[in-house]
Amino acid sequence: MSPTLRRMALAASCLLLGSAALAAEPKRPECIAPASPGGGFDLTCKLVQSALVNEKILSKPMRVTYMPGGVGAVAYNAVVAQRPADAGTLVAWSSGSLLNLAQGKFGRFDEGAVRWLAAVGTSYGAIAVKKDSPYKNLDDLVQALKKDPSKVVIGSGGTVGSQDWMQTALIAKAAGINPRELRYVALEGGGEIATALLGGHIQVGSTDISDSMPHILSGDMRLLAVFAEQRIDEPEMKGIPTAREQGYDIVWPVVRGFYLGPKVSDEDYTWWKAAFDKLLASQDFDTLRDQRELFPFAMTGPELDTYVKQQVAQYKTLAQEFGLIQ
């Protein structure tokens, strides 16, 4: 963000904070990570847990709690049905949440059931293996799948139709393999994928580059491909090839952010929007985001609401192509 745009964003957030004077800082702020500890939702909550205090938006750190189940479905239903007006409860979401919403996997609630608050960064999907895996590149994996897809156990966050499943389904489709023949183990988020991969319970992890980097840097894992438009220009990521450069034209960004319950008041919603506008205009936040291997993607309020609904519509089309919905 340029210095001029940053100043404009700060000025706008100050005006919004003034208009939200009727709303006060939540007394018991909480961020729900709708998965087990250690994955992308956990990372997203802990990012803002630090940043909101650093920017003096919150006087004390918000709690981070975990509500695994259905890659976000349990948390979505719990907040909408049981805590709809709780202004202190933020829930983390990702592009995978939107893909599941597009397929009706969140039950009776659709994408219009919550108040979409902020998107704070993006990552990219990735294919991970253990450091000693026989698969050295994406084509090695594809050849093994062509030979006998039942011999390659792939761990993914969520069941058939999840974004992790979709990543490997797109590879299979490009290689002329029926995605339904792939052998999947459904896990709950990036933390469980890493644990299963390093424990030898799966051979391949369909995951996210942000979840994977701590294990890449420790030398325990390798990435066969990242689903970005081009190689990521970060020192520790420059050596990771894209799927596109290996002949598989697949790009899968993983946007991360937060929503609030549907009955949170306009005053409280405006307070939180102003808080995130201030946060996203901060250079300190840029640093914290970069440390967590996330890349810039800043959007709040009505603009984000429009983006979410457009993405859900696009994911519905993709799900129809794979026969996941009628």
pLDDT value for 182: 92
247 has which bridge partners? none
pLDDT value for 104: 94
**Number of neighbouring beta carbons within 10 Å of residue 7:** 12
pLDDT value for 132: 96
CB 12 within 8 A of CB 54: no
pLDDT value for 298: 97
User: Which pair of structure tokens corresponds to residue 155?
Assistant: 């761990």
Query: 16: helix, coil or strand?
Result: helix
Average pLDDT for the chain: 91
User: Which pair of structure tokens corresponds to residue 210?
Assistant: 């942000």
Go through the chain and tell me how many residues it has: 326
Distance CA 53, CA 80 (A): 27
Region of 4 (left: φ > 0; alpha: ψ -120 to 50; beta: rest) is alpha
Distance CA 323, CA 161 (A): 10
pLDDT value for 4: 56
**Number of neighbouring beta carbons within 10 Å of residue 229:** 10
**Which of the residue ranges 44-48, 170-174, 195-199 would you say has the lowest mean pLDDT?**
170-174
> Which of 240, 259, 254, 260 shows the shortest CA–CA distance to 297?
254
Distance CA 16, CA 279 (A): 13
Q: Check pLDDT > 70 for residue 7.
A: no
CB 185 within 8 A of CB 196: yes
pLDDT tens column, 26-72: 989 999 999 989 888 999 999 999 999 999 999 999 999 999 988 79
CB 89 within 8 A of CB 82: no
pLDDT tens column, 283-317: 999 999 999 889 999 999 999 999 999 999 999 99
pLDDT tens column, 207-220: 989 888 889 999 99
Mean pLDDT, rounded, for 273-280: 97
Distance CA 124, CA 130 (A): 19
Residue 237 pLDDT level (bands cut at 50, 70, 90)? very high
pLDDT value for 20: 43
Domains defined along the chain, listed by start: 3-123+253-321 (3.40.190.150), 124-246 (3.40.190.10)
Q: What share of residues in the chain are helix, strand, coil (percent, to 5)?
A: 45, 20, 35
Full 3-state SS string of 73-137: HHHHHHHHHHCCCCCCEEEEEEHHHHHHHHCCCCCCCCCCCCEEEEEEEEEEEEEEEECCCCCCC
pLDDT tens column, 153-171: 999 987 889 899 999 999 9
Residue 2 pLDDT level (bands cut at 50, 70, 90)? low
pLDDT value for 175: 85
